Structure formats: structure tokens, C-alpha cells
Amino acid sequence: MRVLFLFATIFVAAVLAVGQETHPSMQGMQSLSISYETPEQLSLLKNYVDVPGFDFVKSTNDLVDVLVTADKIEEFKQLLEEHRMNYTVMIENVQQLVTEQYIEQEVERRLQVATQDYASGRLSFTYYPNYKEVNEYLTYLTQTYKNIASLITIGNSYEGRSMKVLKLSTGGGNKPAIFIDAGIHAREWIAPAAALYMVDLMLQSHRDLLTKVDWYVLPVLNPDGYEYTHSSSANRLWRKTRSNTGSNCRGVDGNRNYDMGWMVAGASNNPCSDTYAGPKAFSEVENQHMRDFILARKGQIKAYLTFHSYGQYILYPWGWTNKVPDNEPELRNLASQCAQAIARSRRTQYTYGTSANALYLAAGGSDDWALGKADIKLSFTYELPGGRSGFLLPASEIKPVGTETFEALKVTHQYVTSKYASH
């Protein structure tokens, strides 16, 4: 009996130890938005990057957002005060908000499950769909818009989930195409949802966007990570893939894993870091499938858009260096037009610039690869809004965010049409 108890204790301790390493408890975890002014203040904050208990989810030239576990929060706040750094508590208790949202989400889902629409695979966009619901919706689109929508399975994820690209085309060859992906970062739920809502808008009421341009949409580039965040509230803040690279810690940051300046800056070689670049460039099978799909259509794809959250940025290459690409004026001009279009829609303010200059240096990103290696001249990362709660943006924002971002899509479509389509 005593031996059994001992085994049980060891087992529980082992589970807790592993659990702690990959999932810091969200109970009492707070989200702080901290402003800094001096280089000293910045370097003080930098000391905490990749320290257990601290998750720097956003950093800009004068602000950082960080999630801090309950056991570290008071001491950390004291330190900020000692160094005269202003901060705002954005989320008082992350666990509580996550739990509330899971319940809300489930209530919304159950309201839909009984309906005909749900049975057909249609999405209401009133909750964040899980991987299965995304796929059902894609199938629904191919059945409803038979002559326009089709699916291309590009391969399986590490855990064996199929990765589907939705193709929207009214037929006829030699059309320029726009490629969109979302969900490379698992916890950024607004990205796949908004991308799909924009597809919905296109098919329901903006068919004109389909006459001169083909569209490819990969709504969930990291299906394993995405499903993991949906599977339990404890996993809600997972960012990476779920591959096992031989360490205690799982997953690779898909957006550090492309072979454009791989590992030169803003990426980690520590498998436990949230910005782990992987054992080598393109170690992640999901990224390989995406790469192969795009390279097979090299020349046709004229614009690459990747959706992330959060922070309201339209970013373009480079992220791996502070240098700017040759066509920077073109990228800046298009980003500016897109930002203005979004602002006209709902007054949401976007900042635009190269990733390295407007946000931070980070190598191995998909946008840099799209321009540098796939030669897609128009390559952009959208950091969608996070409201007050960042990744935990309420699902009621899916339609408003999708609607305003659709304005940027229209501008991009217009630009691609006038530059590349035959008239």
C-alpha cells in the first residue's frame, strides 16, 4: 500500500513537473502593459525574456505586454515601480478570463449545433471554430459554391491532421493569385476566424473580387497547435507547433522556421522558448507543405498575406535584418493604402513598416521567405486587433474585425489586378 502511495506521489509529481514546464499555471496570472523610455529600462525588461513565469507577448518601441504568473507578479510590479516604469494591468486573472470565454464559447456553439446551418457545415462566426469545424465549413463552401470553391489537401501535420487550401477561382487560366494563410501561431484565434469570415464575404456579396484574381486560403497553417489550444483551457496560450524535437519541451515557432535568415536574430535555439526556431530551417512539416504548395505556383502568386494577432500592424519584409527590400516604396505605399482603408471602416488605427523597424527583429518568418525565396513581391503580415485582452479577444469581434480587414483585402486585390491582370 505504502509503495503504491509512493508510486502515485512520484507519478503526480512527475506530471506536475512536466506540466509546469510547458504550461505555467494561469491562475492569478496577469497581463501587464508596460511603457518604457530609457535603454536601461528596456534592458531591465529584456532580462526577463525566456525566464519561466514571463511570457512577452508583444513588444514595440515604447511598450511591452507581458503575461506574468501569480508567484512572480508582486515582486515584478515592485521592480517596475522602483524603476519608475508605468504599467497597466490589462487582465487581472488570465485563468478566470480564459475559463469565462470557454464557457461563453461553448454556449454559442451549442446554440448553433441544433440548427440546419450548423448541420450543413456553415459557420455563424459567433464563436471561434475548432479544427474540425473549420474543415466542415471548407467542405460546405465547396458544396455550396461548386463552380468557384475547391479544396487542395497539401499534406498532413505532424500529428496527422490534413491541411487544406481553399481555392477560389471562376476559371480561366493565367490569372494572378493572392495567397492567404492564418493560424501559424496557435493562440491567435482571431486570425483563422477573420480569414474565413473574409472568404464568406467574398463568396456571399463580393464576387467581383474573383473575376480577375484566383485566391488560395490556408486558414489553419498549424492545425496541431490550433487544436491543442481548443482542447483544454489550460492550453489556450500555446503558440508553437506540437512536434517533438527530442527535448522535454515540445513545438517550434513556425514563424521562426523559414529559411530566410534562419536564426540570425530574434529567434531562440532553446526548445523551451516560445520563439524556438527549430533544429533546422523547415524542420516543421506544416511549413514544408506550405512552401511546396507556393513554390509549385511560383509566378502565379503575386501577393502573400499572413494573418496573426495582435497589435494592429501591417508589416512587410524584412524581419531578419534592419535593411529594407528593393521594393520598399511599393510595399510602404500599399501598406499605407490598406491602413487607410481599414481606418475609414471602423477607425481602427494600424501602424505599418518593415517588421524589423516597426516591430522587432525576428528571422525565419514566412513573409520574409515569401519575398526572398518565393519571389512574391507583395508580402505582408497583418497583426489583427487584440482589444484589451490580446489573444483572448471576444468572439463577438470576429465579424467587426473581419469586416474592417476586408477593406484592406479589397485594396490589395485592386492593386494586384491593375498591376498583374490582363485587361
Give residue 332's identity as a one-letter amino acid code. R
Binding mask 21-50 for ligand 0X9 (x = CB under 6 A): ------------------------------
**Residue 108 falls in the annotated catalytic set:** no
- Residue 266 CB, shortest distance to ligand 0X9, in Å, is 7
Q: Which of residues 102-121 bind ligand 0X9 (CB under 6 A)?
A: none
Contact with ligand 0X9 (CB under 6 A): which of 185, 212, 289, 413?
Answer: 185
Minimum separation from the CB atom of position 401 to ligand 0X9 (A): 15
Residue type, 6: L
Report strand pairing: 87-91 vs 149-156: unpaired
Residues 6+ apart with CB under 8 A from 118: 112, 124
Cβ atoms < 10 Å from Cβ of 5: 9
Determine which residue in the list 257, 287, 355, 417 makes contact with ligand 0X9, applying CB under 6 A.
355
Q: How far is CA 186 from the centre of its chain?
A: 6
User: Could you say which of ligand 0X9, Zn ion, none residue 175 binds, taking C-beta under 5 to 8 angstroms by partner kind?
Assistant: none
Residue 394 vs residues 200, 359, 390: alpha-carbon distances, Å: 20, 24, 9
Decide: is 58 part of the binding site for Zn ion (CB under 5 A): no
User: For the stretch 14-50, what's the b/e string if a residue is b when 16 or more beta carbons lie within 10 angstroms of its beta carbon?
Assistant: eeeeeeeeeebebeebbbbbbebeeeebeebbeebbb
255 counts as binding ligand 0X9 under rule CB under 6 A? yes
Q: Which is nearer to ligand 0X9, 101 or 355 (CB)?
A: 355
- Please identify, using beta-carbon distances, which residue of 129 and 311 lies nearer to ligand 0X9: 311
First to last CA, the chain: 82
- Catalytic entry in 383, 397, 404, 407: 383
Region 99-138 residues binding Zn ion, contact defined as CB under 5 A:
none
Residue 315: contacted member of Zn ion, ligand 0X9, none (CB under 5 to 8 Å, by partner type): ligand 0X9
Contact between 367 and ligand 0X9 by CB under 6 A: the answer reads yes
Q: Which amino acid is at 138?
A: L
Applying CB under 6 A, the span of 78-86, 106-114, 202-210, 361-369 interacting with ligand 0X9 comes to 361-369
For 357, which DSSP code? I
| DSSP structural state of residue 317 | S
Looking only at the bridges linking them, the beta strands covering 351-354 and 313-316 are parallel
Phi–psi pair at 249, nearest 5 degrees: -100, 140
Q: Is 315 in the site for ligand 0X9 (CB under 6 A)?
A: yes
In the complex, the smallest distance separating the C-beta of residue 231 from ligand 0X9, rounded to whole angstroms, is: 21
Rounded to an integer, what distance in angstroms lies between the CA atom of residue 272 and that of residue 251? Answer: 8
**Residue 362 binds ligand 0X9, judged by CB under 6 A:** yes
Find cell 508605468 and name the residue. 86
H or E element that contains 13: helix 2-22
Residue 415, beta-bridge partner list: none
Nearer to Zn ion, 97 or 186 (CB): 186
What minimum distance in Å lies between the beta carbon of 355 and ligand 0X9?
Answer: 4
* 185 counts as binding Zn ion under rule CB under 5 A: yes
- 240 forms part of the interface with ligand 0X9 (CB under 6 A): no
Binding of Zn ion at residue 308 (CB under 5 A)? yes
Residue 176, binding choice from ligand 0X9, Zn ion, none, Cβ under 5 to 8 Å by partner class: none
Does position 187 interact with ligand 0X9 (CB under 6 A)? The reply is no
Under 8 Å between Cβ of 361 and 321: yes
Q: Which of the stretches 145-153, 178-186, 195-203, 356-364 binds Zn ion when contact is defined by CB under 5 A? A: 178-186
Confirm if 168 and 148 have CB atoms less than 8 A apart.
yes
DSSP-derived 3-state class of residue 153: strand
Q: Please report, as ranges, the residues that interact with ligand 0X9 according to CB under 6 A.
A: 58, 185, 188, 255, 308, 315, 319, 355, 359, 362, 365, 367-368, 381, 383
Active site residues: 383
Give the binding site for Zn ion (CB under 5 A). Answer: 185, 188, 308
